[in-house]
Amino acid sequence: MALRPLLARECIVREALSVEFLKLRKSPVALITGMLIVLLIPAMSFGLVSVVEGSGSGLLAEKVRVLVTGTGWVALGGLLNQFAASAVFVGVSVVAVWCFGREFSDRTVGSLFALPTSRGTIAGAKLIVILCWSLLVSVLLVTVAAAIGVLGGLGRLDSTAFEELGTVILVAWLTSLLASTLSLPASIGRGYLPAIGVMVLILMTAQMAVLFEAGAWYPYASPGLWAVSSDQGDLVVGVAHLATVPVLAGVSSLLTVRWWQRFELV
């Protein structure tokens, strides 16, 4: 029996991307997580700015004032950055862990063998879809924050506002890159729980690194630290420190793709 001609490599990659995109689009995990990030973070940030800039003499206002630097768009941007560095990390991690871990938990992984689309290609498609989704979520987060800021009386979108909101997109996306590294423990651990454990460990070690003033060189802490320190005019994180983030994400992605290419279904 003659074999069918195989699709071109770029077509195989495109089809793998379309399948992974469909799975993510239909997933309640991605939808709920995205909605929480896009709606809750701007609402909470604006709410806290309002508390500080309002009458502001209560216990809550005193506590919030510790978190806020500046006023108006600067204050909103600072809070968005702080929330983005933690909440976006957790949110995108959950989606990344679901994307990879679900193949084992839902027992669909066996069907990804013996295909002309290699498992490495499928893993690469998953990573690309996760990063595109996180970029979309970051842009929507900032769009909603801008709308709330304008409607809430922070003034028009001037250069300060654009600079602050641009920083938020950058922090959110760097954080998303870091969260994508959870795909590796979700794969090696063959399910959700080991990767969730690693996520908790990362959050703890990032806190410790900042506490011991080693956060600049710890990729999981550096974007958040950069955002906070730049707001306070005390820049301790530079481009070299931030460059560790894409390097770590790149290495993790390569290892994940390689692992998917070679693992056995024992």
Partner 1 sequence: MNPIVTDGVSRAYGDELALDRLTIEVAPGEIHAIVGLNGAGKTTLMRILMGMIRPDSGRALLHGSDVIEVPGRTWADVGHMIESPFGYPELTVVENISAAAKLRGIPSGDVAAAADSVVKRFELGRWADRRARALSMGNRQRLGLACALVHTPGVIVLDEPSNSLDPAGVVLVRDLMRHEAAEGAAILVSSHHLDELARVAHRISVLHRGRLIGNIDPDGFDLERRFFELVHGAETSVGEGVHRA
Closest distance between partner 1 and the C-beta of residue 24, in Å?
A: 10
Q: Within 10 Å of residue 114's Cβ, how many Cβ atoms?
A: 6
Instruction: Decide whether 10 or 234 has the Cβ nearer to partner 1.
Output: 10
Report DSSP state, residue 179.
H
Closest distance between partner 1 and the C-beta of residue 226, in Å?
A: 37
Q: Within 10 Å of residue 247's Cβ, how many Cβ atoms?
A: 11
Instruction: Decide whether 5 or 233 has the Cβ nearer to partner 1.
Output: 5
Distance CA 130, CA 176 (A): 9
Are the beta carbons of 218 and 201 closer than 8 angstroms?
A: no
Closest distance between partner 1 and the C-beta of residue 128, in Å?
A: 16
Instruction: Decide whether 89 or 98 has the Cβ nearer to partner 1.
Output: 98
Distance CA 231, CA 69 (A): 7
Closest distance between partner 1 and the C-beta of residue 13, in Å?
A: 11
Distance CA 185, CA 98 (A): 11
Sequence-distant (≥ 6) Cβ neighbours of residue 143 within 8 angstroms? none
Instruction: Decide whether 119 or 241 has the Cβ nearer to partner 1.
Output: 119
Closest distance between partner 1 and the C-beta of residue 107, in Å?
A: 4
Closest distance between partner 1 and the C-beta of residue 187, in Å?
A: 15
Instruction: Decide whether 239 or 265 has the Cβ nearer to partner 1.
Output: 265
Q: Position of tokens 């690693």?
A: 198
> What are the φ/ψ torsions at residue 253 (nearest 5 degrees)?
-65, -45
Instruction: Decide whether 22 or 204 has the Cβ nearer to partner 1.
Output: 22
Helices and strands (H and E) in the chain: how many: 12, 0
Q: Position of tokens 């506002």?
A: 161
Positions that interact with partner 1 (CB under 8 A): 1, 3-7, 11-12, 14-16, 18-19, 22-23, 26-28, 106-108, 110-118, 122, 264-266
